[in-house]
């Protein structure tokens, strides 16, 4: 909602929660005109032009298909689904309906990722050799209690925030993951999902990536890309709450710094979605991109179970 408050091309006209009293309370809190206790009623409403799906991951498929059935374009939260088959079904339903389906990978709308992407594309660090991204946060008291239930979440921090890291590296490097190896652990508080994990990624042009995720350490989102002619790094490069210092390092010396902020990332995301609808243009993260991320997540979880590297195929 803070993101929508800054948006210039769209506004929230309605919300749905399972309990009508809770829905009305949330609507009053955020000055939203209409409250529903049914997703069906929300999707049917003439006051709703498009639907943002933010339900637990296991509900994404049914909620996206419901909105499409009622002729509403959809922006779906990440991870897109519980598995790649669900993502394929959503993408094909949107194609058949002729409606836009976007995925809310908000880090693609940050100034930090845009700067890193442009600098690497310009050859500033030469050929990328290593790419590292981390996303950790304290999860034991998280308000989304369903995050430790694999039937609702699909997985732990690999699915919840690892997808952010994977997508950010794909976007920054403009390259695709072709192989994943995963290692992780669970504990007494993580339910039937992992509490922390490390993913080793192999990209099609040879870059080796690492993604570290955890719900057991303080919030941190560092990122670093190391090339054969230098490195780019930011201590909290994916953060949206405070200014970020990006550093260009050559021969062990910081030769350039850039301060950026990602305050507007959520607003830019929903505004771009609105523009894509109004002007019939493409959206930066179409459903196919969420589907590709899910293929990588599926491979990571197969690797976690088998202990072996898993290949990743492109969407088809």
For residues 267 and 7, the answer to whether their CB atoms sit within 8 Å is: yes
| CA–CA gap between residue 209 and residue 132 (Å, rounded) | 6
- pLDDT attached to residue 316: 84
Q: Which residues contact 115 (CB under 8 A, 6 or more apart)?
A: 246, 258, 260
End-to-end CA distance of the chain: 35
Tokens representing 167? 């997508």
Name the segment(s) of the chain with CATH classification 3.40.50.720. Answer: 2-106+268-293
Per-residue pLDDT for the chain (316 aa), expressed as one digit of tens each?
988 999 999 999 999 999 999 999 999 999 999 999 999 999 999 999 999 999 999 999 999 999 999 999 999 999 999 999 999 999 999 999 999 999 999 999 999 999 999 999 999 999 999 999 999 999 898 888 899 999 999 999 999 999 999 999 999 999 999 999 999 999 999 989 999 999 999 999 999 999 999 999 999 999 999 999 999 999 999 999 999 999 999 999 999 999 999 999 999 999 999 999 999 999 999 999 999 999 999 999 999 999 999 999 999 8
Homologous superfamily, domain 2-106+268-293: NAD(P)-binding Rossmann-like Domain (3.40.50.720)
Looking at the DSSP bridge assignments, the partners of residue 74 are 51, 101
Name the segment(s) of the chain with CATH classification 3.30.360.10. Answer: 111-263
- pLDDT attached to residue 145: 87
CATH of domain 111-263: 3.30.360.10
- pLDDT attached to residue 212: 98
Q: State the helix-helix crossing angle for 60-69 and 84-97, rounded to 10 degrees.
A: 10
Cα angle 28, 32, 36; round to 5 = 90
Put simply, whether the predicted model's pTM sits higher than 0.85 gets the answer yes
- pLDDT attached to residue 205: 98
């Amino acid at each position: 909602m803070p993101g929508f408050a800054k948006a210039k091309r769209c506004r929230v006209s309605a919300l749905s929660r399972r309990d009508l009293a809770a829905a009305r309370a949330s609507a009053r809190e955020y000055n939203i005109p209409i409250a529903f206790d049914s997703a069906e009623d929300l999707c049917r409403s003439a006051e709703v032009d498009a639907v943002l799906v933010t339900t637990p991951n296991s509900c994404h498929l049914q909620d996206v298909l419901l909105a499409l059935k009622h002729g509403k374009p959809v922006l779906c939260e990440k991870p897109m689904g519980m598995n790649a088959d669900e993502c394929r079904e959503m993408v094909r339903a949107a194609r058949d309906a002729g409606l836009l389906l976007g995925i809310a990978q908000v880090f693609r709308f940050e100034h930090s990722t845009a700067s890193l992407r442009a600098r690497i594309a310009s050859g500033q660090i030469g050929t990328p050799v290593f790419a590292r991204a981390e996303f950790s946060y304290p999860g034991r008291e998280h308000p989304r209690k369903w995050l430790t239930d694999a039937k609702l979440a699909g997985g732990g921090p690999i699915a919840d925030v690892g997808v952010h890291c994977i997508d950010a590296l794909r976007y920054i490097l403009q390259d695709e993951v072709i192989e994943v190896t995963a290692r992780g652990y669970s504990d007494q508080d993580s339910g039937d999902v992992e509490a922390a994990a490390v993913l080793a990624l192999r990209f099609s042009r040879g870059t080796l990536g690492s993604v570290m995720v955890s719900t057991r350490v303080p919030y941190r989102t560092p990122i670093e890309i190391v090339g054969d002619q230098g490195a780019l790094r930011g201590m909290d490069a994916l953060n949206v709450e405070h200014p970020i210092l990006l550093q260009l390092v050559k021969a062990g010396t910081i030769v350039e710094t850039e301060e950026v902020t990602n305050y507007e990332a959520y607003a830019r995301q929903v505004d771009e979605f609105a523009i894509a609808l109004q002007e019939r243009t493409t959206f930066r993260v179409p459903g196919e991109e969420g589907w590709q991320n899910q293929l990588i997540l599926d491979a990571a979880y197969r690797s976690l179970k088998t202990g072996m590297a898993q290949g990743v195929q492109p969407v088809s």
